[in-house]
Amino acid sequence: MKTSTKILNNAIEEFASLPGIGHKTALKFVLHMLKQKESNVTKFTNSIIELKKSLKECKICHNIADSDICDICADSKRDRNTICIVENIRDIISIESTGQYKGLYHVLGGIISPMDGISPSDLNIESLIVRINENTKEIIFALSATIEGDTTAYYIYKKIKKYGIKISSIAKGISVGNNLDYTDELTLGRSIINRIDFENN
Q: Name the site residues for its own copies (rule: CB under 8 A).
A: 1-8, 10-11, 13-14, 17-20, 25, 27-34, 36, 38, 41-45, 47-52, 54-55, 63-66, 70-72, 88-90, 92-93, 96-97
**Residue 66 or 116 having the CB closest to its own copies:** 66
C-alpha–C-alpha distance, residues 99 and 129, integer Å: 26
Q: Which is nearer to its own copies, 95 or 140 (CB)?
A: 95
Q: Where are the alpha helices (DSSP H) in 55-184?
A: 71-74, 89-98, 126-131, 147-160
What is the nearest approach in angstroms of its own copies to the Cβ of residue 86? 13
How far, in Å, CA of 51 to CA of 54, rounded? Answer: 6
Please tell me the distance from the alpha carbon of residue 128 to that of residue 165, in angstroms, as a whole number: 14
Comparing CB distances to its own copies, the nearer of 107 and 156 is 107
CB of 93 to its own copies, least distance (A): 5
CB of 9 to its own copies, least distance (A): 9
Residues 6+ apart with CB under 8 A from 128: 83, 85, 106, 108, 156, 160
